Structure 1
Amino acid sequence: MSGRAPKSLAELRKRVGAVRLRGADAARARQMLDLYLDTAERHGQSLDVVLREVKAGLPALRIGGAELQGQAASEPVRTAACAPGCAFCCILAGDEGAVILEAEARHLHAALAPLAGAPDGRAWSSRACPALDPDTRMCRAYDARPMICRTYLSPDSEACRSIAEGVPAPGPVTLGAQRLYLTVQALGRAALAGHVTVPTYALSRIAAAAVEGRDLSAALREARHKPRTLDDERARLAPPHA
């Protein structure tokens, strides 16, 4: 993509249409993002506002959120064993936790910053998400939880316990809304390449920075991913033979 800034929403839509992106969700994500941009254009939204939204991941979150609502009656949701205090899915791998977008990082930090200095989930398990209350194992930022927290489900809590202990087990799934939202963000990032940097962040690092009292700027700086992380996460979630 050209490094020149798009001069209109119509030009931005053309750039999205020209992005070459692999994956089972690419065509649908392109269609949904184009509809989002078309709606913004018809409502007279300014290009600058839309560019800021794409950078923050708001189109991806809104499209992914709508997809998640449509999956509310799916079998993984109906059979989920998830319950308050069952927080084995919140024991995170490595120091990353999960891939989240800028808007999610900002919301999560704002929700946890007032709790700075209080014991956090790592008092329960060293690898637990800092957003957890260590006694109740309840998320203290539930309303601000990122998309990955909303889309990861399991019909078997013991499978989650096993995975948390490092033993693979069948059962847990990530709903397709997660792939779609990441793919929408990948399209927006590619369309703005050379003009606007569209970063992703590590969930656990944002949460840790907030509860340890570091401000938002420091949290974003510490938690920022390398550019390829978004593509790696999309590849990890790709269905077999996609």
Structure 2
Amino acid sequence: MLRPRIIPSLLIQDNGLVKTVNFKNPKYVGDPINAVRIFNEKEVDELAIFDIDATVKGLEPNYSLIERIANQSRMPLCYGGGVKTVEQAQKIFGLGIEKIALSSAVLQNPGLITQIAERVGSQSVIVVLDVKKKLFGGHEAYTHNGKKSTGINPFKFAEEAQKLGAGEIIINSIDQDGIMKGYDIALIDKIREKISLPLTVLGGAGSLNDIKQVIDRHGIIGVAAGSLFVFKGVYRAVLINYPSFEEKEALRQK
């Protein structure tokens, strides 16, 4: 039976685990391998890992680190960062990753969605849309850690990605990133109207109630969070955490 997924989102920079606010000022919060081991023990639904250096610096995916993470993980893994070709995607799948997250490469070349989907299956191809509100209304997709505007309407692109064979969309609010004051519900509502694909939302979770609000509103959906699962308390002390089995069940009940 399909159920809502509660997904920690981890950012990697210089092989370390970091957290950002509005995609800026990355703060080192620990070793990614250690975080994966802790999340194993907490039996998370799925783990999303994004290398925020790879695309910006034009680097290949860090296959060695990806392999180490996959070897340690006992949960489904989604990886994004630096993937530009079918061959790179296949290599990453060969290391034990279940899903590939694509962003800047497919915004520049949407046909890559179809090429990778034909090789590995649509269910494994995830399109990530990092979006900002525009000054006079609407939203725009950004790349390169929120630094590069694309002029692309994320809702129209999500519809195109669905037609091209994507298996899932991740919508990430740059405006809400790291501020822990709740998800952009209007953004989630709008993207949900446009696509029938599995949808995961990211950006803004500050409490389990924020997660519950999205699940109550949209049912079977992926609800991802970064700060919520790596910080604890008003002083944002670093502490890897995740809802218990009982808490997860409560979040999934209306």
Structures share a fold, TM > 0.5? no
Question: In proportion to residue count, which structure has more strand?
Answer: 2
Q: TM-score, normalised by structure 1?
A: 0.25
Q: Which has the larger radius of gyration?
A: 1
Question: In proportion to residue count, which structure has more helix?
Answer: 1
